[in-house]
Amino acid sequence: MLKKINLGLVALVLGFGLVFTQSAFTSSKKATGARAKLTFHYEGPVPMTKADVEDESNWVYGEEACPEGNALACAIEIEDTFVDNPSGPTPTLNSSAALVSDPLIAAPRVTGSADNSIVIYNRQQN
């Protein structure tokens, strides 16, 4: 009888342990929802180079209308984790954004970043 109680107690403890470990390590993104995104537009030198597009200091917080197209860098939406002072009056991209421009494309444009969920807007070349 004592062995049956001990075996049941061990099974109960293992069951609670399994439930605890599975719920304790859930993704913070799932628990808190999606991160806030901020929009930045390109205000660097024109004509732009690959280095200009990849330089975070050439991107300014705020909306800019981007004509449809896919030739020149225009604007990006990026998660606030890649932004310094995201809730302040003048958010700035930080170097962890790691913007990437494809060297094989004649007109520089953003093709990626450290933020896998980045939204990229490019504009037609004039």
Domain co-membership, 81 together with 50: yes
Domain co-membership, 117 together with 83: yes
CA distance to 40, 63, 70, 118, per residue, from 95 (Å): 14, 21, 24, 15
Domain co-membership, 40 together with 21: no
pLDDT at 4 over 50: yes
pTM of the model: 0.66
pLDDT in tens, 15-59: 555 445 554 444 444 444 578 999 999 998 988 888 999 999 999
Domain co-membership, 53 together with 1: no
% of the chain exceeding 70 in pLDDT: 66
Domain co-membership, 41 together with 73: yes
Domain co-membership, 47 together with 20: no
Domain count, the chain: 2
pLDDT in tens, 94-107: 999 999 987 767 77
CA distance to 7, 20, 39, 74, 94, per residue, from 51 (Å): 66, 49, 20, 15, 16
- Identify the band that residue 126 occupies on the pLDDT scale cut at 50, 70 and 90: low
Instruction: Print the domain residue range for 77.
Output: 34-123
Beta bridge partners of 76: 40, 120
Domain co-membership, 46 together with 76: yes
Mean pLDDT, residues 109-121 = 82
Domain co-membership, 60 together with 109: yes
pLDDT in tens, 63-85: 877 766 556 888 899 999 999 99
Domain co-membership, 74 together with 106: yes
- Select the more confidently predicted residue: 8 or 36: 36
Domain co-membership, 63 together with 110: yes
Write the Ramachandran bin of 124: left for phi over 0, alpha for psi from -120 to 50, otherwise beta: beta
pLDDT of residue 124: 64
Domain co-membership, 63 together with 108: yes
Domain co-membership, 8 together with 48: no
